[in-house]
């Protein structure tokens, strides 16, 4: 039986997590069909909260066996986000099996560790400048991982002026590409929030009735 999995992230670029959900499921020999509905076209516009998105998706009358709901911890405890997600499910879609994904502080923290992937996406794979990448043990304490990732890609590119401005415009696309290149067995595997994501997903996929 193929499990129907709903993925809802904070933004469209977070859909880079979908291939990793599929890969983990494949390694567990669990057939899945992951759906990440495009909510931008719905009128009136869908709000940004988990509850708003669940309400909108439920209105589409689709059914799912599992919902994977991503919400950055930002500057608060990750448990606050987990409680927020659980409350949204209870209110908007009671009985929906779900698991939270809570990067600390932001999802970009998971993308700051692979030097070769960063150099490749920055368009300068043979660059030698010191990128001063964080260690897995400290990356979750970076105040603004998104800004640091932007700055690191700029440094890795070696670009200046107009070329640098063009690189910065491509940040959403480059962020998505970094997700595609993310090595699940690489440095990110040592990051607590990533490890919890893998553990929680494994449990959710294998403990189905």
CA distances from 163 to 14, 23, 37, 123 (A): 26, 35, 34, 11
Q: If pLDDT is split at 50, 70 and 90, which confidence band does 209 have?
A: low
CA distance 132 to 122: 15
What integer best gives the mean pLDDT of the chain? 93
Q: What is residue 25's predicted lDDT score, i.e. its pLDDT?
A: 97
Q: What is residue 55's predicted lDDT score, i.e. its pLDDT?
A: 93
CA distance 180 to 206: 24
Q: What is residue 135's predicted lDDT score, i.e. its pLDDT?
A: 95
Residue 184 has pLDDT above 70, yes or no: yes
Average pLDDT over residues 153-164: 95
Q: 208 or 76: whose pLDDT is higher?
A: 76
Q: If pLDDT is split at 50, 70 and 90, which confidence band does 20 have?
A: very high
Residue with tokens 């998104």: 146
Residue with tokens 């009735």: 209
């Amino acid at each position: 039986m193929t499990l129907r999995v709903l993925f809802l992230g904070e933004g469209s670029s977070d859909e880079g997590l979908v291939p990793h959900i599929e890969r983990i499921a494949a390694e567990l020999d669990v057939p899945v069909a992951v759906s990440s509905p495009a909510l931008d076209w719905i009128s009136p516009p869908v709000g940004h909260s988990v509850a708003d998105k669940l309400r909108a998706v439920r209105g589409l009358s689709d059914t799912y066996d599992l919902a994977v709901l991503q919400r950055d911890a930002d500057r608060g405890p990750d448990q606050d986000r987990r409680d927020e997600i659980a409350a949204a499910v209870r209110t908007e879609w009671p009985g929906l099996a779900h698991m939270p994904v809570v990067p600390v502080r932001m999802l970009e923290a998971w993308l700051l560790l692979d030097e070769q992937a960063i150099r490749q996406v920055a368009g300068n794979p043979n660059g030698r400048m010191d990128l001063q990448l964080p260690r897995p043990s400290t990356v979750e304490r970076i105040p603004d991982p998104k800004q640091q990732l932007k700055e690191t890609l700029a440094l890795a590119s070696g670009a200046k002026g107009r070329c640098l401005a063009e690189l910065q415009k491509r940040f959403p696309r480059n962020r998505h590409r970094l997700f595609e290149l993310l090595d699940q067995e690489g440095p990110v595997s040592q990051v607590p929030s990533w490890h919890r994501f893998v553990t929680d997903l494994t449990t959710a996929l294998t403990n189905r009735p």
